[in-house]
């Protein structure tokens, strides 16, 4: 399953802070934008696994969609100086062990 998730990256001093509005509590940082985004992808996989283990639904909406074609993702709450990236996460729900 491919899930397309909106990620917002902001400078935080000499580091970068990344978060995904659809996933409460998922905040990552890195010394570069790429590192913050990679950590976010890793965190998303753990978050998605946790949702599955607890039988919680995916937060489907404008910031998180299951990829069918190439849907467009938009969010009205993006800070003006933020860098916006769309992440695609390859996730295998059946591989998760309870």
pLDDT tens, position by position, 23-53? 999 999 999 999 999 999 999 999 999 988 8
Distance of CA 14 to the CA centre of its chain: 22
Contact, 63 vs 73, CB < 8 A?
yes
Cα 41 from Cα 57, distance rounded (Å):
19
- 28 forms bridges with which residues in the sheet? 18
pLDDT-derived band at 20 (thresholds 50, 70, 90) equals very high
pLDDT-derived band at 65 (thresholds 50, 70, 90) equals confident
């Amino acid at each position: 399953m491919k899930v397309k998730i909106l990620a917002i990256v902001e400078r935080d001093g000499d580091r970068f802070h990344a978060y995904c509005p659809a996933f409460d509590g998922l905040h990552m940082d890195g010394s570069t934008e790429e590192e913050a985004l990679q950590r976010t992808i890793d965190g998303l996989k753990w978050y998605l696994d946790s949702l599955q283990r607890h039988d919680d639904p995916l937060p489907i909406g404008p910031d998180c969609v299951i990829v069918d074609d190439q849907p467009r993702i938009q969010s009205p709450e993006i800070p003006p100086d933020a860098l916006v990236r769309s992440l695609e996460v390859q996730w295998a729900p059946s591989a998760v062990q309870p």
